[in-house]
Amino acid sequence: MPKVKMPRSNPSLDMTPMVDLAFLLVTFFMLTSSFRTPEPVVVDPPTSTTKTEIPKQVFMITIDNQGRAFIDLTNPAVKSRVFEKVCNQSGIKVDSMTVKKFAGSGAIGLKITAIPQYLELEANERTKVNQTGVPYDTTGKKSELYWWAYYTRLEAHADFKAREEEAKTRKLPFDKSNYIQFAVKAASDAKYDAVKNVIQVFRDAKVKQFQMITGLESEPSLK
Amino acid sequence: MAQIQDNGGGGHGKGDKKRAKKQSTHVDMTPMVDLAFLLLTFFVLTSTFSKPKVLRMIFPEKLDENVKDQKAPEVKDGITLLLTANDKIYYYRGSLKPNTELIPIDYTRTGLRKVLVDYNADMLVKLQDIQKRMNKLDDKDTAAKRKLDEEVLNVQKASKQIVLVKNDEGATYRNMIDVMDEFMITQIAKYYVIDEGMAKLEVDLIKKQGK
DSSP state letters, A20-73: HHHHHHHHHHHHH--PPPPPSS---PPEE---PBPPSSEEEEEE-TT--EEEEE
Length of chain B: 211
Q: Which chain B positions have a beta carbon within 8 Å of A179's beta carbon?
A: none
Q: Judge if B94 and B146 occupy the same domain.
A: no
State whether the Cα torsion B201-B202-B206-B209 is positive or negative. positive
Q: Judge if B183 and B151 occupy the same domain.
A: no
B79 part of a folded domain: yes
What is the tally of structural domains in chain B? Answer: 2
pLDDT digits (tens, 9 = 90+) for B75-107: 677 888 888 888 888 888 877 777 777 788 887
pLDDT digits (tens, 9 = 90+) for B124-167: 888 888 888 877 777 777 777 788 788 778 877 777 778 888 88
Query: B169: distance to nearest CA of chain A, Å?
Result: 6
Q: Judge if B86 and B104 occupy the same domain.
A: yes
User: Is the Cβ pair B175, A192 closer than 8 Å?
Assistant: yes
Integer CA distances (angstroms), A31 to A34, A35, A74, B41, in order: 8, 11, 18, 15
B95 part of a folded domain: yes
Element (H, E) at A202: helix A192-204
DSSP-based three-state secondary structure for A184 = strand
User: Is the Cβ pair B44, A188 closer than 8 Å?
Assistant: no
Disruptive mutation site among B26, B55, B180 for chain A (greatest number of A CBs within 10 Å): B55
Does the structure show a pLDDT above 80 at A140? no
User: Is the Cβ pair B172, A192 closer than 8 Å?
Assistant: yes
User: Is the Cβ pair A49, B117 closer than 8 Å?
Assistant: no
DSSP-based three-state secondary structure for B174 = helix
* Cβ pairs bridging A and B (under 8 Å): 151
Residue A212 and residue A199: Cα distance in Å, rounded?
Answer: 11
Q: Which of A36, A195, A214 sits opposite B55 (nearest CB)?
A: A214
**Contact between A137 and A197 (Cβ < 8 Å):** yes
Q: Find which of A96-100, B36-40, B91-95 is predicted with most confidence, using mean pLDDT.
A: B36-40
Average pLDDT over residues A24-47: 78
* Domains in chain A: boundaries: 47-172+179-216
Pairing of strands B53-58, B103-105: unpaired
Q: Is B173 on the interface with A (CB under 8 A)?
A: yes
Q: Judge if B130 and B186 occupy the same domain.
A: no
User: Is the Cβ pair A46, B171 closer than 8 Å?
Assistant: no
pLDDT at B62: 65
The complex's ipTM works out to 0.73
Q: To 10 degrees, what angle do helices B142-158 and B121-136 make?
A: 180
Domain of residue B141, residue span? 121-158
In chain A, residues 175-194 whose CB comes closer than 8 Å to chain B? 183, 185-194
Average pLDDT over residues A186-196: 82
Query: B74: distance to nearest CA of chain A, Å?
Result: 23
User: Is the Cβ pair B40, A25 closer than 8 Å?
Assistant: yes
Q: Is A131 on the interface with B (CB under 8 A)?
A: no
B136 part of a folded domain: yes
CATH of the domain at B98: 3.30.420.270
In chain B, residues 19-78 whose CB comes closer than 8 Å to chain A? 29, 32-33, 36-37, 39-40, 43-44, 46-48, 50-62
B25 part of a folded domain: no
pLDDT at A36: 65
Rounded to two decimals, the pTM is 0.72
Q: Judge if B125 and B114 occupy the same domain.
A: no
| Burial environment of residue A102 by CB neighbours within 10 A (0 to 12, 13 to 18, 19 or more) | buried
In chain A, residues 31-90 whose CB comes closer than 8 Å to chain B? 32-33, 35-36, 45-55, 63
Q: Judge if B104 and B133 occupy the same domain.
A: no
In sequence order, the β-bridge partners of residue B19 are none
pLDDT at B10: 47
pLDDT grade for B11, boundaries at 50, 70 and 90: very low
B106 part of a folded domain: yes
Q: Which chain A positions have a beta carbon within 8 Å of B175's beta carbon?
A: 192
Query: A106: distance to nearest CA of chain B, Å?
Result: 17
B13 part of a folded domain: no
Query: B175: distance to nearest CA of chain A, Å?
Result: 8
Q: Is B174 on the interface with A (CB under 8 A)?
A: yes
Nearest to A58 by CA among A200, A180, A140: A180
Q: Which chain B positions have a beta carbon within 8 Å of A192's beta carbon?
A: 83, 167, 171-173, 175-176
